Each structure stands twice: as C-alpha cells, then as structure tokens.
Amino acid sequence: MLFVMVAIGAAAFLHGNAGAPAVEAEMRNVDLHLTPEIGLHIRNLRGRFVPQGSRQAPYLDDPRSYSVTVDHGEVAIDLASLNALMTRALVGHSNVRSMEISIDANGQLRQKGTLKKGVPVPFDVKASVSPTPDGHLRIHSESVKGFGIPVNPLLKTFGLKMDDLLKVDPGRGVTIDGNDVLLDPSSLLPPPAMHGRITAVRIEKDALVQVFGPGGEKALSPPATSKNYIYWRGGQLSFGKLTMTETDLELVDDDPRDAFDFSVDRWNEQLVAGYSKITAERGLKAHMPDYNDLPRHKAR
C-alpha cells in the first residue's frame, strides 16, 4: 500500500528561479526537523539550494522560498516520521484509514490499516522497497491479508489490481502501477521541496535509508571545520534581515557528541542562543545548541 521518504525527482531546476545561481550546500550528521512530527536524519548530503517563486535568493526563514537539490548523500527517516507522513498523505478523499507502518523481524515493511470499500476491510501488507529507474520509490506488495486471510489469490481470481481498491487524491505523490505503489517523496514531504535521484534504498532497524546519486562528489572548499554541520557556499543567501553574497556560512553543532538537532522553522531560536564568529576569509561560523536542548523547547 503506502510508504514514504525524502526523495526526490530528477529535474531540480524546473520550478526554481533560473536567473539566480544556486547556493552549494553540504550537511553531515544532522537531525532535520521539517515539522514537529516529521524529521530526517541527514547522514551526509551534498547539493544545492535553489530560490523559488519571486525570490532572488533562498530565504532560510521561509522554507517555501527555496528547494533543495540532492546530488548525492544518505538520508534516513524513522518510523515515527514515516507514520506522520502517511497521515499527512492520506487526508482528503483517500479510502485508507488508520495506516500504521512498522518493520517486521525479517526486515520487511509492514503496513496495517483499514480499507473502506463498501464495508471497512482491515488489511495487513508486507512489502519490499526499491528505487525505480527514474529515481522514485517502488513499494512492492509481497503478501496482502484482509480479515486475516490472504488476498492476493482473491485479487487474481477476480482480475483485480491494487488500483481497483486503493484510492488516494491526485498530487499526493502516490500513484499505482499494477499491484505496486510508486512514491514521489518530493510531493509527500512538507517544505522545502527536495529533488534528487535515489539510487539505492535499504531498511536498517527502525528506519528507511535512501542513497542519492553515484557518490564521489567533492566536498565544499574550504572544507567545513566541525563534525556536525550545515554549510553553504557561493551564490546569494538571505536570513533574518541579512543577505550574504558569495555565501560562506557554516552552522556548527555546539555539542558534537550526538547529531546536530536542527529545526527548519525555528532555527532562529538556536541562532539567538548561540554565538557567531567572522572568519579570516570574511565568512561566518554560527555556533548553535541543538534545538532539542533549548529550554523553551524542553518546556513545550
């Protein structure tokens, strides 16, 4: 049935501002909060921030003002975020209710929920996941049970396929191909829009891990100086009341013992709680606490 992840179409610049150069970006060991419920663990990422709409430069305080092109990297999403994404994708006129995703002892995706087709039908699907040639995700159902009995033979007997049963609103990033579900995660994720080509996917413990691009991409120069970081170079980048040209901005995790916990929407609170230094090359290094270590966040 359904499943999700960060991922990401190949034509990254189609919706960007063609008149403005992209800003090169690099991330390592970052827990990226897209919303309070949805997060990605960026193990490593090399890509570009591209301005969107009328913006001449990405404005970091507005995730709708830019998109992220992933050239290569490795990104994981945990089960809590996957389930939050599914809830988000299935609003509207979908006939799927109470979707819950887990990973079984054999490392397969397990999706349980209720299909409303005349009468509510509880289902239990075990599936494998793989990349498609165009860089999306294919969720292939290995076994399907309804009311606790195998459904695959029944579908075959009556000449039915998954698209005869599963209904999802258009534009949600979910399409049906026979008995498989194809996902375009760029349409599934909240802003910023992300684009890239998934070349491999695997399941690790309680997370789905996606690999982007062929690898071997050179690091930004000069290289980042910290263990966990977000680093932008070149082009024009705006945040707050500031605009950088020939951007040289590194966000540094002040506690490198664990991942850099970073909020896309509330990162200014982290910036205010930290301190900044100007480099000899007139760049800026902002040392920031983890978002989940902020006193106000802990109180909430």
pLDDT tens-place string over residues 41-95:
999 999 999 998 888 899 999 999 999 999 999 999 999 998 888 778 777 666 7
Check the CA dihedral 58-59-64-65 and report its sign. Answer: negative
The more confidently predicted of residues 147 and 144 is 144
Q: What is the pLDDT of residue 285?
A: 96
Checking if the pLDDT of 157 tops 80, the result is no
Separation of alpha carbons 226 and 67, rounded Å: 25
Separation of alpha carbons 253 and 227, rounded Å: 8
Q: Specify the range with the lowest mean pLDDT, choosing from 147-151, 225-229, 285-289.
A: 147-151
DSSP per residue, the chain: -----S---S-TTTTB-TTSPPEEEEEEEEEEESSSS-EEEEEEEEEEEEEBTT-SS-BTT-GGGEEEEEEEEEEEEEHHHHHHHHHHHT-SS-SEEEEEEEE-TTS-EEEEEEEEESEEEEEEEEEEEEE-TTS-EEEEEEEEEETTEE-HHHHHHTT--HHHH----TTSSEEEETTEEEE-HHHHSPSSEEEE-EEEEEEETTEEEEEESSS-PPPPSSPP-SSSEEEEESSEEEETTEEEES-EEEEEES-TTS-EEEETTTHHHHHHHSEEEE-TTS-EEEEE--GGGSHHHHH-
Alpha-carbon Rg for the chain in angstroms: 21
Q: What is the pLDDT of residue 92?
A: 65
Work out the number of other CB atoms within 10 angstroms of the CB of residue 6: 30
Most confident of 115-119, 145-149, 208-212: 208-212
Separation of alpha carbons 237 and 246, rounded Å: 8
Checking if the pLDDT of 128 tops 60, the result is yes
Instruction: Express each pLDDT in 27-44 by its tens digit.
Output: 999 999 999 999 999 999
The mean pLDDT of 140-157, rounded to a whole number, is 56
Q: Residue 297 — pLDDT band, cuts 50, 70, 90?
A: low
Angle at 254 (CA atoms; ends 251, 258), nearest 5 degrees: 105
Most confident of 141-145, 270-274, 295-299: 270-274
Q: Do 294 and 270 contact (CB within 8 A), yes or no?
A: yes
Q: Is 274 left (phi over 0), alpha (psi -120 to 50) or beta?
A: beta
Q: What percent of the chain has pLDDT over 70?
A: 80
Q: Residue 125 — pLDDT band, cuts 50, 70, 90?
A: confident
Separation of alpha carbons 288 and 99, rounded Å: 37
The more confidently predicted of residues 182 and 103 is 103
| Residue 49 CA to its chain's centroid (Å) | 15
Separation of alpha carbons 195 and 135, rounded Å: 10
Separation of alpha carbons 295 and 101, rounded Å: 32
State the virtual CA torsion across 11, 13, 16, 20 in degrees, nearest 10.
180
Q: Residue 160 — pLDDT band, cuts 50, 70, 90?
A: very low
Separation of alpha carbons 45 and 85, rounded Å: 21
The mean pLDDT of 222-240, rounded to a whole number, is 93
- Computed over every residue of the chain, the mean pLDDT equals 81
Q: What is the pLDDT of residue 38?
A: 93
Q: What is the pLDDT of residue 300?
A: 47
Quote the pTM value.
0.82
The mean pLDDT of 257-276, rounded to a whole number, is 95
Q: Residue 168 — pLDDT band, cuts 50, 70, 90?
A: low
The mean pLDDT of 264-288, rounded to a whole number, is 94
| Residue 69 CA to its chain's centroid (Å) | 12
The mean pLDDT of 136-149, rounded to a whole number, is 71
Instruction: Express each pLDDT in 246-255 by its tens digit.
Output: 999 999 999 9
